[in-house]
């Protein structure tokens, strides 16, 4: 007389699906976190830009993918170079402004002032940012030593991942619960 375990085939089938279930849960949790970081960064930009069209805040993107090592990776970024200038600051002013940078990020700043042709911008930079307007050979320019850092993306990242353990736990529990029904 042999022993028969009812449901063993079903249990084995469910156990074989656990790695994929965990990968899916990890992907979903990472997606939620990247969405949160993007949302926070957008809000920070929108609340701090007085003279803008929303183009910079609208340029933020996110993605989740599985990298070549098989790890789930979430990314939030902008292809607009102005976000980098805003995040880190520019020139001597940017270098001397307070900022919290990730380890290994060591920007190099221009140490000499530069000039912006007045006809190349659609706002009065003297009124908006206090840049001195000067006339050189009949043409108006704004002189600047740079702009301060006004970070949005890195602070949003730090805030957005504060509760990451709970987010991953929620998705793993949910995935396993559904898989092992």
Q: Where are the alpha helices (DSSP H) in 64-161?
A: 81-88, 91-96, 125-129, 153-160
| pLDDT above 70: percentage of residues in the chain | 98
Q: pLDDT for 40-76, tens place per residue? A: 999 998 887 776 777 888 899 999 999 999 999 999 9
Report residue 135's pLDDT band, with 50, 70 and 90 as the boundaries.
very high
Picking from 38-42, 46-50, 78-82, 144-148, which range would have the lowest pLDDT averaged per residue? Answer: 46-50
Q: Can you give the pLDDT at residue 8?
A: 74
pTM as predicted = 0.81
Q: In angstroms, what CA-CA distances link 156 with 34, 48, 49, 74, 87?
A: 10, 14, 16, 14, 11
CB-based burial label for 150 (10 Å; 0-12, 13-18, 19+): middle
As a whole number of Å, the CA-based R_g of the chain is: 25
Average confidence (pLDDT) over 120-140: 92
Q: Which two tokens stand for residue 50?
A: 């007085």
Q: Can you give the pLDDT at residue 5?
A: 77
Q: At what angle do helices 8-48 and 164-179 cross, to 10 degrees?
A: 150
Q: Can you give the pLDDT at residue 169?
A: 95
Average confidence (pLDDT) over 84-94: 94
Give the mean pLDDT of the chain: 90
CA 7 to chain CA mean position, Å: 47
Q: Can you give the pLDDT at residue 1?
A: 61
Q: Where are the beta strands (DSSP E) in the chain?
A: 60-66, 72-78, 114-117, 132-136, 139-144
Q: Can you give the pLDDT at residue 128?
A: 86
Q: Can you give the pLDDT at residue 55?
A: 80
Q: Which two tokens stand for residue 165?
A: 């353990």
Q: Would you list the domain boundaries of the chain?
A: 8-110+146-179
Q: Which residue is it, tokens 């970024």?
A: 77
């Amino acid at each position: 007389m042999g022993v028969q375990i009812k449901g063993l085939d079903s249990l084995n089938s469910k156990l074989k699906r656990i790695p994929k279930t965990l990968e899916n849960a990890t992907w979903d949790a990472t997606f939620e976190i990247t969405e949160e970081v993007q949302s926070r960064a957008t809000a920070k930009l929108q609340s701090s830009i007085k003279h803008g069209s929303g183009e910079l805040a609208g340029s933020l993107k996110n993605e989740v993918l599985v990298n070549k090592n098989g790890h789930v990776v979430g990314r939030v970024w902008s292809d607009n170079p102005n976000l980098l200038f805003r995040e880190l600051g520019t020139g001597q002013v940017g270098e001397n402004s307070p900022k919290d940078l990730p380890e290994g990020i060591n920007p190099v700043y221009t140490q000499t002032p530069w000039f912006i042709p007045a006809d190349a911008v659609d706002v009065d930079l003297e009124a908006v940012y206090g840049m001195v307007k000067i006339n050189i050979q009949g043409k108006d320019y704004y002189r600047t030593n740079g702009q301060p850092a006004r970070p949005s993306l890195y602070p949003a990242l730090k805030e957005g991942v504060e509760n990451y353990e709970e987010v991953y736990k929620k998705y793993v529990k949910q995935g396993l619960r559904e898989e092992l029904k």
